[in-house]
Amino acid sequence: MAEADLKSGINSVICDQNNAETWGKGMDADIHVVHSHLPDKVTFKEGTKMVIVQHGSPEHVFEISVQQGTSGSYAPGDSFALSSFMLKKANAVVTFWPRHAAIWETMTDKPVFCIPMGIKKDFWVKQDLPPLAGTPALFTAENMHNCKWPIDMFFLWPHLMKSLPDARLHVTNIPINQQNWWWPLSYMNGSKYTMFMSAMRFDATSLRNYLSATPFYYSPVRYGDHNRISLEAAACGAKIISFEGNEYAHYWVHEGDQRRQLIDLVAILSGETIERSPFLVPDIKDMEEAMLQVYKAVL
């Protein structure tokens, strides 16, 4: 977002909340675009104009707060309390999902803008590479929060193998501290023998290669919310499989009962399902044009 601001002629500065040395240049900004926290002397400065970008889904923000608040840990984080404060303090609220906007609108009297989630389409372009193993291959590489982890796929994969024995599932970005559960699960039901699992986190170029090499990308984000990696995958030529609500997906599968999702997946991977007409993936220029309207409204 800051890079897009710069390209449009706005003097934009990125302040890293974990690095106080980066704060100085942004202290006298006309508008502070908040993605997490701001120093108190900025937040409570009279006349400060703020725009809060609500990244996480309302459900996930609430759930994480409850989990941390009931864990018994000392001084737990409270993302819901932070959102509550910012929704009242900021001059405008930005989200990338119409569904989220409808929820946040009930919690603030400030304008809520729903803008495109733009990606660098000049970078996220399909590369000419050999395909991933599997006929077909299915790839997923989500942040492993329970609002988007591939647990359904792990549960249904042994059944899918009965219909498509040559298919292969590729799962990366499994955190080290979760491997005590994902690996045993995969061995318990036998799915490990027809999938490739890894804790690897790719740099942008390597991820682009993987997304270019897979015919299908599985995006299990709850409620069919789209996310950045699903847009990057689509831009690299992969067909997106997600839940109803993800307008950038080429195929929708049932959200809930894994038996119904299995039926949908087998039909899709067998070429029996008619492809949807997904929304076009937005560029960062589209995102910046929308943000300019937000800035004008705030000023």
User: 3.40.350.10, 3.40.50.150, 3.40.50.2000, 3.40.462.10: which CATH number matches 137-269?
Assistant: 3.40.50.2000
Evaluate if residue 191 carries a pLDDT over 90.
yes
**Mean pLDDT value across the chain:** 93
pLDDT value at residue 120: 96
- Among the ranges given (24-33, 89-98, 131-140), the one the predictor scored with the smallest mean pLDDT: 24-33
The whole-number pLDDT of residue 77 equals 84
Q: Is the pLDDT of residue 64 over 80?
A: yes
- Residue 267, Cβ neighbours under 10 Å: how many? 15
Q: How far apart are CA 227 and CA 125, in angstroms?
A: 17
For residues 266 and 160, the answer to whether their CB atoms sit within 8 Å is yes
**pLDDT value at residue 56:** 87
Question: Is the pLDDT assigned to residue 141 strictly greater than 90?
Answer: yes
Residue 3 has pLDDT above 80, yes or no: no
How far the first Cα of the chain sits from its last, in Å, is 18
What is the structure's pLDDT at 247?
98
Strand partners of residue 168? 137
Neighbours of 210 (CB within 10 A): 21
At 5, the pLDDT band (50, 70, 90 cuts) reads confident
Specify the pLDDT at position 91.
Answer: 95
Overall residue count recorded for the chain in this entry: 299
Q: In terms of Cα–Cα distance, which of 210, 212, 229, 5 is closest to 117?
A: 229
- The stretch 204-208 carries a mean pLDDT of 98
Q: Which residue has the higher pLDDT, 97 or 4?
A: 97
Q: Residues spanned by CATH 3.40.50.2000 within the chain?
A: 137-269
What pLDDT shows up at residue 142? 96
Q: 42: pLDDT confidence band, cut at 50, 70 and 90?
A: confident
Name the pLDDT band for 36 (thresholds 50, 70, 90): confident
Alpha helices in 44-121 (DSSP H): 58-69, 79-89, 98-104
Confidence of residue 285 (pLDDT cuts 50, 70, 90): very high
**Sheet containing 137-140, strands listed edge to edge, beginning at the edge strand earlier in sequence:** 195-197, 168-171, 137-140, 216-218, 239-243, 251-253
The pLDDT value recorded for residue 23 is 75
